[in-house]
Structure 1
Amino acid sequence: MKLNKIYLGLIFSGAFIIFSSFIILKQKVKPTLFLIGDSTVKNGKGKGDGSLWGWGSFIESFFNSEKINVENDALGGTSSRTFQTNGLWGTVLVKIKKGDYVMMQFGHNDNSPLDDTARARGTIKGIGMESKNIYNPIKKKPETVYTYGYYMRKFVADIRAKGATPIICSPIPRNPVKDGNVALVDDSYSSWAQEIAKEEKVAFIPLNQLIKDKYSALSANEVQAYFTEKDHTHTNEAGAKINATLVIEGVKAMNSNKLKRYLK
């Protein structure tokens, strides 16, 4: 009888361990939403360095943390090219697993020179397959530079190869206040981002247009209050929070994308 009790005890203990392990493993496989982009997604360490904020710093609060992780891997100063060629994309890609999501926003720095001695981060304009051989003065070696569209397509292909879901955001507009007026203009990179998303059948958030629609209903002083005084590109905390809410509006509007089911 005593041996039977011991035997039963071992069985129940084993069952409990297996059940507990199953629960732990189940918790570990929740998906992750990765954010990649430039300083308008995450400035510095994402803690408001110099009063400059990116919208990615405020996205996590909209999602149910029990169901999904949010990781902001954007880095200021990068373009769609240098995020890849400087090894940043590789460090993110190895973490991506089946069922994850990757939201990207590039364009602000792609308009830079291809081979200057300051950054050498620009891409060829457009979404074609053109390329140009240059000498990269920073890396001190030859490099073949491609179009904005080429690098965006590579992000998409890499993400899909991991069984994850890519989402493209058009880049936020720069400060549109000029001479006391709100002067909203079209942005080539916004259009190109949308074209790539359509071509690749990727979920698209028209962030540039959503923000411009918001600005169009405001006065110049109200719009200016969303931007830092240090330059004409970066938002302050208030501006970044507004942009984050508009990203979430875009997520909610994506009919065929399952990311919205993780929202609070």
Structure 2
Amino acid sequence: MKRTVAGLWLLWLLALASNATAAPPITLHLAGDSTMAAKRPEKRPETGWGEYLEAHFRKGAVRVDNRAMNGRSTRSFIAEGRWQALLNTVRAGDYVLIQFGHNDQSQDKPDRYTPPEDYQRNLARFVADVRARGATPMLLTPVARRRFDAQGRVLDNHGEYPDRMRALAARERIALIDLERRTQAILQEAGMDESRRLFLQLAPGQHPNYPQGIEDNTHYSPLGAQRTAQEFAAALRASALPLAAKLRER
């Protein structure tokens, strides 16, 4: 009996020691647009891929703080104070995932349009701010829209913006996940018809939030969001970033 009690006591002490030395979860801060953002109930089943990100990491290894917001560009994210609010929560060892481009290129929407040169400067500012706090910035090219040509080939539709991000990442040695090219490959593999399932495409009367139906080739369905989060995890796993060690086993 004494041995049993002593054994239990030792196990309890070991558990306490393990908990005391376990590393606290790091935070993944998400800065981006609607394709990444968490959605309000009235927008469902529209889904941002950032909503599925935490599920790809070991339990308790990371915490996701999703600050992405519909309709935001690098310029409006700064102007509205969203970037500073995110930055105020960043701690050494954290990661900041930065995905913009969709709205920066919208010349017909002056509230968000950002010329390419300013876009690149804003990204450089984001990177410098994050590094100043001892955290790691990651640049993510904007995800592909569902657009095909007459031959069924996926079209580029972000102009020079992704290349501006790629050039900055190469020059400043910033971690880059090329989600544009990866999601283009997903769409190409799925094809023109099957790829509809990845986006917010509903027939009239199919969902109460969209009684007239909707054919959206930018925003994801839950399936599309899941698939993009999987693609991010695959890209991270293939990288040399320490964050990859926190991913769940496949």
Q: TM-score, normalised by structure 1?
A: 0.76
> Who is 1:258 aligned against?
242
5 Å-filtered alignment, 1:2-17, equals none
Task: Supply the RMSD in Å over aligned alpha carbons.
Answer: 2.5
Q: Does 1:39 align with 2:39?
A: no
Q: Of 108, 114, 121, which aligns to 2:112?
A: 121
Are 2:37 and 2:50, in contact at CA under 8 Å, matched by a contact in 1? yes
Q: Does 1:107 align with 2:101?
A: yes
How far does residue 75 in structure 1 lie from its aligned partner after superposition? 0.8
Are 1:194 and 1:204, in contact at CA under 8 Å, matched by a contact in 2? yes
Q: Does 1:220 align with 2:220?
A: no
Are 1:159 and 1:165, in contact at CA under 8 Å, matched by a contact in 2? yes
Between the aligned partners of 1:93 and 1:21, the Cα distance in structure 2 is 33
Are 1:110 and 1:123, in contact at CA under 8 Å, matched by a contact in 2? yes
Q: Of 159, 163, 175, which aligns to 2:134?
A: 163
- Change in 2 beyond 3 A, CA 1:149/1:244: same
> Structure 2 stretches of 5 or more lacking a match?
1-12, 202-213
How far does residue 86 in structure 1 lie from its aligned partner after superposition? 0.4
How far does residue 175 in structure 1 lie from its aligned partner after superposition? 1.1
Q: Of 223, 231, 247, which aligns to 1:246?
A: 231
* Higher deviation after alignment, 155-164 or 61-70: 61-70
Q: Of 190, 200, 215, which aligns to 2:172?
A: 200
How far does residue 179 in structure 1 lie from its aligned partner after superposition? 5.8
* Higher deviation after alignment, 205-214 or 215-224: 215-224
Between the aligned partners of 1:115 and 1:175, the Cα distance in structure 2 is 21
Are 2:35 and 2:49, in contact at CA under 8 Å, matched by a contact in 1? yes
How far does residue 183 in structure 1 lie from its aligned partner after superposition? 3.2
Q: Secondary structure at the match of 1:234?
A: strand
> Who is 1:209 aligned against?
181
Q: Secondary structure at the match of 1:104?
A: strand
Between the aligned partners of 1:261 and 1:112, the Cα distance in structure 2 is 37
> Who is 2:7 aligned against?
none
Q: Does 1:88 align with 2:82?
A: yes
Q: Secondary structure at the match of 1:123?
A: coil
Between the aligned partners of 2:123 and 2:96, the Cα distance in structure 1 is 12
- Change in 2 beyond 3 A, CA 1:31/1:220: same
1:66-103 per-position Cα deviation (integer Å, ceiling 9, x unaligned)? 22212211111110111111011111111100000011
Q: Does 1:66 align with 2:60?
A: yes
> Who is 1:138 aligned against?
none
5 Å-filtered alignment, 1:14-29, equals 29=24
Q: Which amino acid aligns with 1:31?
A: I
Are 1:180 and 1:220, in contact at CA under 8 Å, matched by a contact in 2? no
Q: Does 1:50 align with 2:44?
A: yes
- Change in 2 beyond 3 A, CA 1:164/1:223: same
Are 1:43 and 1:52, in contact at CA under 8 Å, matched by a contact in 2? no
- Change in 2 beyond 3 A, CA 1:48/1:67: farther
Q: Which amino acid aligns with 1:211?
A: T
Q: Which amino acid aligns with 1:38?
A: D
Identity among equivalent pairs (%): 30
Q: Does 1:30 align with 2:25?
A: yes
Q: Secondary structure at the match of 2:30?
A: strand
Between the aligned partners of 1:251 and 1:49, the Cα distance in structure 2 is 29
How far does residue 48 in structure 1 lie from its aligned partner after superposition? 7.9
- Change in 2 beyond 3 A, CA 1:48/1:71: farther
How far does residue 30 in structure 1 lie from its aligned partner after superposition? 2.9
